[in-house]
């Protein structure tokens, strides 16, 4: 069965606003006020909590260690879980594109480096979970992207065939995951990385989800 697996953050949805807001909850608790902004730091947000904390501490110019990052990690996660979808929006055409794929007989799934519980919570709050046949998060398996196993697991749980599957993403991690799995990748240019993803030389690029159907059909005919 032909299968399309999607990354979540920066691919299906712009989650940067809520991620950065959660990091700022942490910085405010430490007495520093809001340190990160969506205008400048959306690209860091989709790299994860540790990346946001590192950027924030660097910006403050204070001494910190990996222990400080570890100690504040759960503070950010808790803040994010409490208010996970205040600012998050699906990218234009995402919902419709997934529906079209299903209508055309494809299996669809999600493979994300967001913890599985948070990914399930977010997709439910966006009313977008039930259309996907599978969801594999950062902690579903002992390994995470760019290891190929989560991608393959997402395909298998969807009822698909890894030899007839494609990964839709937006980062170097997604590109490396598809390469490691021996699968083609489609990278979106509307995520935080913009057209910088061209340099990653994926099998295809899309500027809008309206373009997805024809490219998927070509790559996994």
pLDDT category at 221 given cuts 50, 70, 90 is confident
Set 7, 9, 18, 41: catalytic member: 7
The structure's pTM equals 0.95
Q: Which of 8-12, 45-49, 163-167 has the lowest mean pLDDT?
A: 45-49
The overall average pLDDT reported for the chain is 96
- The answer, yes or no, to whether residue 193 has pLDDT greater than 90, is no
Residue 79: pLDDT band (50, 70, 90) is very high
* pLDDT for position 51: 95
DSSP string, 39-82: HHHHHHHTT-HHHHHHHHHHHHT----HHHHHHHHHHHHHHHHH
- pLDDT over 90 at 15, yes or no: yes
Active-site annotation holds for 7: yes
- 69's CB contacts (< 8 A; 6+ apart) are 50, 53, 54, 57
């Amino acid at each position: 069965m032909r299968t399309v697996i999607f990354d979540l953050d920066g691919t299906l949805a712009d989650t940067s606003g809520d991620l950065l807001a959660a990091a700022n909850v942490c910085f405010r608790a430490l007495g520093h006020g809001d340190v990160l902004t969506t205008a400048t730091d959306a690209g860091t947000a989709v790299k994860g909590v540790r990346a946001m904390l590192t950027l924030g501490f660097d910006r403050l110019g204070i001494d910190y260690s990996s222990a400080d990052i570890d100690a504040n990690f759960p503070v950010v996660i808790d803040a994010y879980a409490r208010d996970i979808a205040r600012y998050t929006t699906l990218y234009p055409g995402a919902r419709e594109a997934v529906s079209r794929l299903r209508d055309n007989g494809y299996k669809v799934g999600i493979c994300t480096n967001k913890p599985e519980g948070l990914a399930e919570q977010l997709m439910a709050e966006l009313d977008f979970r039930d259309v996907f046949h599978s969801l594999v998060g950062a902690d579903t398996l002992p390994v995470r992207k760019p290891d190929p196993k989560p991608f393959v697991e997402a395909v298998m749980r969807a009822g698909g065939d890894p030899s007839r599957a494609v990964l839709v993403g937006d980062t170097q991690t997604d590109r490396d995951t598809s390469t490691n799995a021996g699968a083609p990748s489609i990278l979106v240019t509307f995520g935080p990385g913009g057209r910088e993803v061209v340099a990653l030389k994926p099998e295809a690029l899309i500027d809008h989800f309206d373009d997805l159907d024809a490219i998927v059909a070509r790559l996994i005919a």
